[in-house]
Amino acid sequence: MMSRGKYLLRCKSARRKDIVIPNGETLIVGRSPITGIKNTRVSKRHLKLTSTDKGVICEAIGSNRAFVNGQPLVQFDKKLLLNKEVLNLIEGELEYQLIMDEKNENTATPGKEPKMVHSNHWSQGLFRAMEDPELKVLDDEKVCVIKDKYPKATHHFLVLPKEHLSTLNDLTASHTTLVEHMVQVAEDHLIKDLKDFEFKMGFHAIPSMAQVHMHVISQDFNSPCLKTKKHWNSFNTDYFILAKDVLSQIKSEGKVNTSSAMKSLLSENLVCNRCSLKPKNIPDLKQHLLKHFKAKQK
Ligand code: AMP
Ligand code: ZN
């Protein structure tokens, strides 16, 4: 077994964040906000990295070749990368060196601008939230439930699998029971005791935070954290993919249907979720929503 700590892939050719491969885990890396890689020759799912006691197994998933110590890694090939060895995500570019980090800490060097380590990047905040007693609601062997730190409604929870799944694109038919379990946990432990509220459960088509998370959100949207059109539309257009639709898509097609074009849904005109009113702006919408909310409480 790998003793302690984790592996880091540290970029040599540019100031990029370290990619952290936690002890004993598998990570899919590629073009994403997490790696900061924008080069379109790198697929979103470019390499599968698995840490072992000897080093990191690199498996090519994307169509463009990666290079392990100068040796090409064609699609679906695997090679072992050892401590201090070099990986290029594409030919001659994006060069990373494997570092065994035994300290298990952010490896920023004093006096130098800290390198952004995976676990300290803002997009990794949900991993930290899962350990935060103020936010953690419950967990079991498969999932963890936290309160959303910036709730967009009276009740807003996130249900996260413990299995490392970076994005919705990592979900396949094999995750059906996991997603069903996420829904069941929400129904049994979150929604059941809050009968005065209507809830929806679903996933943002293009999430900003790493690790798959299902939003469980009350439909009053009565919260000071709901501030922008983007916030509203992310829960009230097709950008919000209901858990039942995620389930039927992974069961029938083996994947969730998302595309970068769905981003445009965030700038659609505002429409109330209770009636056909089309408010001019968010303050008008929020004032209007309070009327529905108060009417329901009477
Ligand atoms: P999205 O990635 O778009 O599905 O949304 C991420 C959700 O995580 C948002 O609703 C945020 O309010 C919430 N969030 C962001 N940072 C944290 C954090 N550190 N702890 C808990 N929730 C967070
Ligand atoms: Zn209305």
Mean pLDDT along residues 165-183: 94
The CA 282 to ligand 2 mean position distance, Å, reads 13
Buried b or exposed e, range 24-55, using 16+ CB within 10 angstroms: eeebbbbbbebbbbeeebbbbbbbbbbbeeeb
Tokens 């039942």 belong to residue: 244
- Give the residue whose CA is nearest to atom 13 of ligand 1: 148
**Given the CA of residue 125, which atom of ligand 1 is nearest to it?**
19
Q: 118 catalytic, yes or no?
A: no
pLDDT at 105 over 50: no
Least confident window among 1-5, 69-73, 112-116, 277-281: 112-116
Report for 99-103, 126-130, 199-203, 210-214: range of highest mean pLDDT: 199-203
Active-site pick, 46, 175, 204, 213: 213
Please give the pLDDT value at position 167.
87
Which one of 127, 147, 150 would you pick to mutate in the ligand 1 pocket, going by the greatest count of ligand atoms within 8 A of its CB?
Answer: 150
pLDDT in tens, 45-76: 999 998 888 889 999 998 899 999 888 998 88
Report for 103-107, 211-215, 289-293: range of highest mean pLDDT: 211-215
Task: Read off the pLDDT band of 166 (50, 70, 90).
Answer: confident
Mean pLDDT along residues 3-30: 78
Mean pLDDT along residues 107-117: 32
The CA 221 to ligand 2 mean position distance, Å, reads 12
% of the chain exceeding 70 in pLDDT: 90
The CA 273 to ligand 2 mean position distance, Å, reads 6
Identify the residues whose C-beta falls under 6 Å from ligand 1. 125-126, 129, 135, 146, 148-150, 204, 207-209, 213
pLDDT at 209 over 80: yes
pLDDT at 107 over 60: no
Please give the pLDDT value at position 123.
76
| Higher per-residue pLDDT: 259 or 53 | 259
pLDDT at 37 over 90: no
Which one of 144, 158, 200 would you pick to mutate in the ligand 1 pocket, going by the greatest count of ligand atoms within 8 A of its CB?
Answer: 158
pLDDT at 25 over 90: no
- Give the residue whose CA is nearest to atom 16 of ligand 1: 125
- Give the residue whose CA is nearest to atom 6 of ligand 1: 209
Closest CA to 146 of 207, 224, 204, 215: 215
Contact between 145 and 159 under an 8 Å Cβ cutoff? The reply is yes
Please give the pLDDT value at position 215.
98
Sheet architecture: strand order including 71-73: 19-21, 6-11, 93-101, 86-90, 66-68, 71-73
The CA 147 to ligand 1 mean position distance, Å, reads 9
